[in-house]
Amino acid sequence: MSSSLSRLFLVAASVTPALGFCGAHTHLDRRAGEEVPVSTFGYTGTVGPILWTQLDPLVNGLCSTGTNQSPINMVEGQFQLIPASDVELTIPDVEGATFENLGSTVEVAMEGLGGKFVLEGKTFELQQFHFHHPSEHVDNGVSLPMEMHMVFTSEAEEIAVIGIYVDLVDIPAVLQLHILPRRAPSRLLETIFSSIGEIASPGTKTTTKPLVMSELVTLLKAGSFQRYTGSLTTPPCSEGVAWSVATEKLLLSKSTYQAVRDIVGFNSRYPQNKLGEENLLTIASSEKANSPVEAPTNSTAALRRWLRS
């Protein structure tokens, strides 16, 4: 890697704490009007995670230099396990909410609808929740089909996020006989995504049917939260975000999942290094990574071994 390319990954960047909604066109922006903000970043090619810093070097520097970045592999030693029953979480049912396609994700706007999350005596209010495909956090080495992120903010504009894995479930034929299976899809998710076809294009929005949020709260309260302090998983990758990854999973029917997948596409940041360790992009751009790699003495033999493996 050339020294100029090395410097590309280490463009000087200001430290951006998770206060406020810095960065243009992310799903953390406050709405200035009725228009749906379309994201300027993405997940592949020149707008993907490896080059997020270069999209706005003065704002997005932590994406390539931060040492407490999210998502991470959720393994022992990286989080503190807290019973969800010990945490105050209230989200009222709503008659309907705005459902938007931001280009980078699909999002349900919940600002002002009464959702609250209390952490260590500090109250956070629910602003929105959105979805990633596949999951961004990795559950002890296992990636799940999707992940839901519920974004809360305090009066000081600090950020707390509840991450919920979404797994898939078949809808057996016995449903036609009104016999409920042991594992059924989440009615909340099925209700939300029943409108996915109405926001197939970035910049579009619709209103959901009534959302029974109590279903979600009851599910989460039955399990635990894996707590750690990390970052936003989108630019500007601000650190100091209070993460609570739920041990309970939401379920989605395969047919609904396919409909969501076809619109959302791939929108997950790759797993980051362990908390407190050097940013993977910093490592990749270091002089150690620039040392030449010796070619095998017998490349033909190596190729043959690879083809047989």
> In sequence order, what DSSP letters do the residues of 134-158 get, joined into one string?
S-SSEETTB--SEEEEEEEE-TT-B
Average pLDDT over residues 65-88: 97
> In sequence order, what DSSP letters do the residues of 168-181 get, joined into one string?
EE---GGGGGT---
Question: How confident is the model over 12-47, as pLDDT tens digits?
Answer: 333 334 443 333 334 555 455 578 999 999 999 999
Is the pLDDT score of 130 beyond 70? yes
Least confident of 58-62, 181-185, 229-233: 181-185
Residue 48 — very low, low, confident or very high, per pLDDT cuts 50/70/90?
Answer: very high
| CA distances to 49, 82, 137, 173 from 126, in Å | 26, 20, 21, 37
Is the pLDDT score of 94 beyond 90? yes
Confidence (pLDDT) at 299: 61
| CA distances to 84, 95, 111, 120, 221 from 218, in Å | 10, 19, 21, 21, 5
Is the pLDDT score of 146 beyond 50? yes
Is the pLDDT score of 132 beyond 50? yes
- N-term to C-term CA, the chain: 29
pLDDT higher at 178 or 47: 47
Answer whether 192's CB lies under 8 Å from 208's CB: yes
Average pLDDT over residues 228-239: 98
Answer whether 169's CB lies under 8 Å from 189's CB: no
Average pLDDT over residues 260-277: 98
- Strand stretches in the chain, DSSP E: 73-74, 80-83, 88-90, 98-101, 106-109, 116-119, 122-132, 138-139, 146-153, 159-169, 205-207, 224-231, 239-246, 250-253
pTM for this entry: 0.85
